Amino acid sequence: MNKIIEPRTLPGFLELLPQDQIIFNQIKKIIQDNYEKAGFLPIDTPAIEFSEVLLAKAGGETEKQIYRFMKGETDLSLRFDLTVPLAKYVAKNYHDITFPFRRYQIGKVYRGERVQRGRYREFYQCDIDVIGDGELSISNDAEVASIIYHIFSELDFGKFTIKINNRKVLTGFLNSLGLSEKTTEVLRIIDKIEKVGKDILMEMFDDLSIAKDTANKILEFITTKDDVLSYLNSLSIEDDTFKAGLQELETVAKYMQLFGIPKDYYIVDLSIARGLDYYTGTVYETVIDAYPEIGSVCSGGRYENLAEYYTKQKLPGVGISIGLTRLFYILNEYKLLRLSSKKSISDVIVIPMLEDLSYPINIVNILRNNGICTELYMENKNIKKKMNYANKLDVPYAVIIGEDEYKTNTISLKNMQTGEQENMALEELLLRFKKG
Amino acid sequence: MNKIIEPRTLPGFLELLPQDQIIFNQIKKIIQDNYEKAGFLPIDTPAIEFSEVLLAKAGGETEKQIYRFMKGETDLSLRFDLTVPLAKYVAKNYHDITFPFRRYQIGKVYRGERVQRGRYREFYQCDIDVIGDGELSISNDAEVASIIYHIFSELDFGKFTIKINNRKVLTGFLNSLGLSEKTTEVLRIIDKIEKVGKDILMEMFDDLSIAKDTANKILEFITTKDDVLSYLNSLSIEDDTFKAGLQELETVAKYMQLFGIPKDYYIVDLSIARGLDYYTGTVYETVIDAYPEIGSVCSGGRYENLAEYYTKQKLPGVGISIGLTRLFYILNEYKLLRLSSKKSISDVIVIPMLEDLSYPINIVNILRNNGICTELYMENKNIKKKMNYANKLDVPYAVIIGEDEYKTNTISLKNMQTGEQENMALEELLLRFKKG
């Protein structure tokens, strides 16, 4: 007798039952299909990298969360996002890549965060990025957002809003207030407004020794919500960065509409700053309108230089990431999973009531050859147990085959929802499946 | 200026260029689609597990290869196959699972093997298993093999043979020779025949102190290739294990035919033993006929007790695993990749020759809404560079839109293979894509 070890899964690691995994995979497939529909190319980088390579840039919080270890003499780390591996990949394969390089990657990443509900240590990121060689048209910033719009529309979890902003508009505005030396700190504070509210924001500005009336101007700026582009033009700020950012923002907004995003699905929101240092232009966040407290479910932006730690080539890009594992958790938690498609993998289960399986197996072969996902129940159990199995798996239809069906070369089709049962020829069954 | 770090990928880790990744993903999809067509349910277990759980059984070679490390106080390991996580999963979720539990899993596993061509430290396994609760019909052993047949036929890499055997037949035969105490060692030797040949096999038997004529009997047994089932019956061995094994083998062979595997695609091969201790009945290997030196590209078998280290429940099962990463390497290396499907993700690339992108973007929206994978070239380059980009990406069709097309509300469709170009209405283009 072996010693029994408790079969535990690590805390912070999602492991679903099959019925939930089916839904999870449907969401993943919708994301992947939409990335491919827009012609993005797949890549699949390793989950493990040389620590030296992966951590070329990292620091602070991220570095603490990393799964880092030695194997023999080699210092290894698990990837914590898909952006650093992309930078490595593009720098490494620069001469074999066709630019602009439009790539998607869907894969697991690892962060040893404190365990709490809805936060995972292993989670899927689903990224798209467009990387230019030296330059990249601003219109890409709009297309990327439109792909997110199509994915979230198809996921059908309710009204959402893609919020866009431009870091140049923010920094240019801060320049015009004489705050250019405090830009990073101020942006980091601005980024917190949704979480902490206006009063605490004002305190934080005070801590940074920003004068009250300047702080008020910032607050007015980032809280302007109506007709933001006109408001920005009306400010008549002469700073070059501001003017460049405003022009980009106007172009992106115009193209987002051209790419088919309805007007009420996106807004310019000047409070969106994104903490990450490397965004330099457009920034995005996406919120579910009914649940602003969830925060952004899809973020990204434009950066000047993807791979500066690996190459001297200037590689500007724009990208967006969906945190699939967290999104799934949220949709589940808020009961927003409205995907109406199938709950089971099988379209039909064939249930034989015969000793000899030759006839039922032949039916199964024909159904599968016609592209119908078909399961065959082969265990030697009574009819009740067989039907119970089909019920538990939520298979929509059962094909029941007993002596009568065998003798008459027919099948009996049972609708598992209504309980209705009909005898028919196999050809009739195939026809019905073809019609849906 | 940052210090430049060389963007290296770890040795033994596959990282493909997009054009190869597209093919890799096609193979993965064919495997997944076939698993789902047979109604197998998806699961997705973490890549990291508690070492105590993952290594409950492991020992010897496997343990040495494991990526094992501490994170804080926790002893962690990366999974080295998908079978141990399945055992954990089934034991853990025993009360929420419907048996027989038919699951597939496709995911990366990790083994720190010595680096050599065609051997990977991170590789995809694509597993199907059927797990019974206490018992499981032998017909499952045939169905699992038939799914492999369909996958490999669809991959179209040339003639292959699924070799089946039954461990009970082997052990029963060894019992009848009075070798029951040496079963494990003898099976391990038999398993080597393809690699080492008959002479070395005889030496190994001699080292085990097996008499020459007994060794000859074993050799005759495992090298009998014609009409093996009749041969086995003709031996009239009275050992119960042998008889049970023979009956199973006959049943599996019969059902494999019923499940649509043509007779020349499978054989009973008594030399197939599979080194792994935990197989107890049917065992499979699959070889590419023209390249026997490659060895098995898909193996598996029947086991009595999946999760004995995690639960007292008896959970017999049968499963097969495709090592996708190695299979891809082999098909590439031997030039057996005959998948005729698309080399690019995009079906069509839209190339605007206009300043204003409104009309081209509208065309792109319509194409995508019709399910056509469509890329839009948006960079401000000359026509030569634009066409060059389309050529490099191997996109089959380009839709070219200049002033003339815009004014006449048409498009020009260019076949990138033949160079032919035609002006037409958008409706005509959609019709052509619908027809394929």
Same structural domain for residues B314 and B378? no
Assigned token pair, A267: 């807004």
Residues with Cβ within 8 Å of residue B174, at least 6 apart in sequence: B180, B182, B183, B186, B187, B218
pTM to 2 decimals? 0.96
The CA R_g of chain A, rounded to the nearest whole Å, is: 27
Here the tokens at position A199 are 């009063």
Residue A306, token pair as written in the block: 């993807």
In order, the DSSP letters of A337-378 are ----S-SSS-SEEEEE-SS--HHHHHHHHHHHHTT--EEE--
pLDDT of residue A353: 95
Q: Please tell me the predicted confidence (pLDDT) of residue B254.
A: 96
**Inter-chain contact B69–A70, Cβ cutoff 8 Å?**
yes
Two tokens, residue A245: 């950012």
Residues with Cβ within 8 Å of B254's Cβ and at least 6 positions away in sequence, in order, are: B142
Contact B118/B329 with Cβ under 8 angstroms?
yes
CA distance A286 to chain B (A): 21
As a whole number of angstroms, the distance between CA A100 and CA A113 comes to: 35
Residue A229 resides in a domain: yes
Q: What average pLDDT does range A34-46 have in this prediction?
A: 97
- Containing H/E element for A218? helix A212-223
Q: Does the CB of A95 have a partner CB in chain B at under 8 Å?
A: no
Cis amide bond preceding B85, omega within 30 = no
Instruction: Answer whether residue A130 shows pLDDT above 70.
Output: yes
Q: Which residues of B touch A13 (CB under 8 A)?
A: 46, 48
Residues 6+ apart with CB under 8 A from A247: none
> Quick check: is A340 in a domain?
no
For chain A, how far is it from start to end, CA to CA, in angstroms?
A: 52
- For the domain that residue A104 is a member of, what is the CATH number? 3.30.930.10
Residues A313 and A93: their CA atoms lie apart, in Å, by 12
> Are A137 and B380 a contacting pair at CB < 8 A?
yes
- Tell me the residue range of the domain where B363 lies: 348-434
- Chain B residues in contact with A71 (beta carbon < 8 A): 67, 112
Contacts A3 to B, Cβ<8 Å: 309
Mutation target to probe the A interface, by most A beta carbons within 10 A, among B40, B48, B143, B358 is B48
User: Do A216 and A96 belong together in one domain?
Assistant: yes
Is residue A340 predicted with pLDDT exceeding 70?
no
Helix B358-369 and helix B426-434, axial crossing angle in degrees, nearest 10: 30
Q: What is the pLDDT of residue A1?
A: 52
The confidence score (pLDDT) of residue A304 equals: 94
Residue A2 pLDDT level (bands cut at 50, 70, 90): low
Query: Sign of torsion, CA A231 A186 A192 A117?
Result: positive
Which of the listed residues B303, B333, B363 is the one where a domain comes to its end? B333
Please say which residue of B333, B368, B393 terminates a domain.
B333
**Secondary structure (DSSP) of A380-407:** ---HHHHHHHHHHTT-SEEEEE-HHHHH
pLDDT, position B435: 84
Q: Do A47 and B7 touch (CB under 8 A)?
A: no
- A375–B39 C-beta distance less than 8 A: yes
Q: Supply the pLDDT for residue A436.
A: 75
Last residue of a domain, one of A280, A302, A333: A333
Cis peptide leading into residue A100 (ω within 30°):
yes
Q: Is pLDDT at A190 greater than 80 in this prediction? A: yes
Question: A77 — phi, psi (to 5°)?
Answer: -140, 145
How far apart, in Å, do the first and last CA atoms of chain B sit?
A: 52
Residue A115 has pLDDT above 90, yes or no: no
* pLDDT bucket at A191, cuts 50 / 70 / 90: confident
Q: Is residue B9 part of a domain?
A: no
- Shared domain for B323 and B357, answered yes or no, is no
Amino acid at position B96, single letter? D
So what's the pLDDT on residue A427?
95
Residue B7 resides in a domain: no
Looking at residue A407, which CATH number applies to its domain?
Answer: 3.40.50.800
Whether residue A314 sits in one domain with residue A354: no
Q: How far apart are CA B187 and CA B170, in angstroms?
A: 8
Is B10 part of any domain? no
Do A221 and A363 have their domain in common?
no
ipTM of the complex: 0.95
Asked if B366 reaches chain A (Cβ–Cβ under 8 Å), the answer is: no
Q: Is residue B12 assigned to a domain?
A: no
Do B373 and B346 meet the contact criterion of CB atoms below 8 Å apart?
A: yes
Could you tell me if B355 and B321 lie in one domain? no
* Same domain for B362 and B329: no
Residues B386 and B271 grouped into a single domain: no
Same domain, A366 and A251: no
Handedness of CA B104, B108, B114, B116 (dihedral sign): positive
Q: Which of B349, B337, B328 is nearest to B392 (CA)?
A: B349
pLDDT in tens, A43-59: 999 999 999 999 988 66
Q: Stretch A98-119: mean pLDDT, rounded?
A: 94
Encode chain B (436 residues) as per-residue pLDDT tens digits: 567 999 999 999 999 999 999 999 999 999 999 999 999 999 999 999 999 999 988 666 677 899 999 999 999 999 999 999 999 999 999 999 999 999 999 999 999 988 888 899 999 999 999 999 999 999 999 999 999 999 999 999 999 999 999 999 999 999 999 999 999 899 989 988 888 899 999 999 999 999 999 999 999 999 999 999 999 999 999 999 999 999 999 999 999 999 999 999 999 999 999 876 789 999 999 999 999 989 999 999 999 999 999 999 999 999 999 999 999 999 999 999 877 666 789 999 999 999 999 999 999 999 999 999 999 999 999 999 999 999 999 999 999 999 999 999 999 999 999 999 999 999 999 999 988 7
* pLDDT digits 0-9 by tens, A405-419: 999 999 999 999 999
- Mean pLDDT of all residues in chain A? 94
**What is the distance between the alpha carbons of residues A53 and A77, in angstroms, rounded to a whole number?**
9
A2 within some domain: no
pLDDT at A60: 65
Residue B395: how many CB atoms within 10 A of its CB?
Answer: 24
Q: Specify whether A278 is located in the same domain as A387.
A: no
CA distance B411 to B428: 10
Contact between residue B303 and residue B321 where contact means Cβ atoms under 8 Å apart:
no
DSSP string, B293-318: GG--SEEEEEES-TTTTT-SS---EE
Residue corresponding to tokens 């538990």: A392
Q: What is the pLDDT of residue A68?
A: 96
Comparing A61 with B336, the larger pLDDT belongs to B336
**CB-based contact (8 Å) between B134 and chain A?**
no
**Interior angle at CA A99, CA A97 and CA A102, nearest 5:** 90
A410 and A327 in one domain?
no
The closest alpha carbon to A305, from B4, B124, B399, belongs to: B4
The DSSP element (H or E) to which A48 belongs, if any, is strand A48-50
Residues sharing a CB contact under 8 Å with residue B271, sequence separation 6 or more, in sequence order:
B165, B190, B193, B194, B222, B223
One domain, residues B277 and B403: no
Sheet strand arrangement including A122-131: A41-42, A101-110, A122-131, A317-323, A298-303, A279-288, A160-166, A266-268
Q: Is residue B341 part of a domain?
A: no
Can you give the pLDDT at residue B430? 96
Closest CB to A21 among B38, B42, B72: B42
> What single-letter amino acid sits at A17?
L
Top-confidence residue, B115 or A263: A263
What tokens were used for A301?
A: 């932006």
The Cα–Cα gap between B38 and A325 comes to 27
Q: How many structural domains does chain A have?
A: 2
